[in-house]
Structure 1
Amino acid sequence: MIGAISGIGGVTQADGPARVAGPAKVAAGADFSSVFADVAASAVNSLKAGETAAIGAITGTASVQQVVQAVMNAEQALQTATALRDKLVAAYQEVSRMQI
């Protein structure tokens, strides 16, 4: 049961209701830094999309639904990045406290 839940990659928006995407594709030999770089790039792209949608709302070229979805995705990406940063800092502090 848990294996099936952990395989969920995310939610994507199509022309209809939101759908659950398949597992994220990661190369078998991908190292942590490349995976982390991909996640960071995805978060930055999500934040840029949110900003673009907000500007579109100001200019009247984007619907309210599009703006809300883009801003919510950007907020989720920012919260995920912040949580990941906090975990990395905590792990670094834990390693730095270890006695040699």
Structure 2
Amino acid sequence: MNPMLAAQAYSAIQGGGAPSAGVSAPTAAPGFGELLQNVMSQTTDATKAAESQMAQQVRGQGSLIDVVTAVSSAEAQLETVIAVRDQVIAAYQEIMRMPI
């Protein structure tokens, strides 16, 4: 996950505030759907990079440490996406249980 994108999204959710030094304020905060699309795209890219590293290792052109690093990064991103998904589902279920 891109830390800068996460920081900007958090800042937008919290109501803005002053941007940190060297970071320009975004003109329009991304919507929740756009944020999810970006994260899913990054996760897909990390998975493809890990698969590419594995293929290079099989052909004898890559190092094992690169494969392990790429797979570990892809796994961490996927676990983060799954955790966020679980929290969104839990929040939705909680909202549906609220009395009207």
TM-score (norm 1): 0.71
Which residue number corresponds to residue 98 of structure 2?
Answer: 98
TM-score (norm 2): 0.71
Gaps of 5+ in 1: 1-7, 10-22
Please state how far the C-alpha of 1:64 moved relative to its aligned partner. Answer: 1.0
Please state how far the C-alpha of 1:29 moved relative to its aligned partner. Answer: 2.7
Which residue number corresponds to residue 65 of structure 1?
Answer: 65
Gaps of 5+ in 2: 10-25
1:10-53 deviations in Å (ceiling 9; x for gaps): xxxxxxxxxxxxx3366433111111110111011111111111
Give matches, 1:10-29, under 5 Å: 23-24=4-5, 27=26, 28-29=28-29
Q: CA–CA distance in 1 between the matches of 2:98 and 2:52?
A: 45
Task: Return the structure number with greater relative CO, CA threshold 8 A, min gap 6.
Answer: 2
Aligned residues: 80
Show structure 1 runs of 4+ deviating over 6 A.
none
Higher strand proportion (structure 1 or 2): 1
Percent of matched pairs sharing the same residue? 34
Higher helix proportion (structure 1 or 2): 2
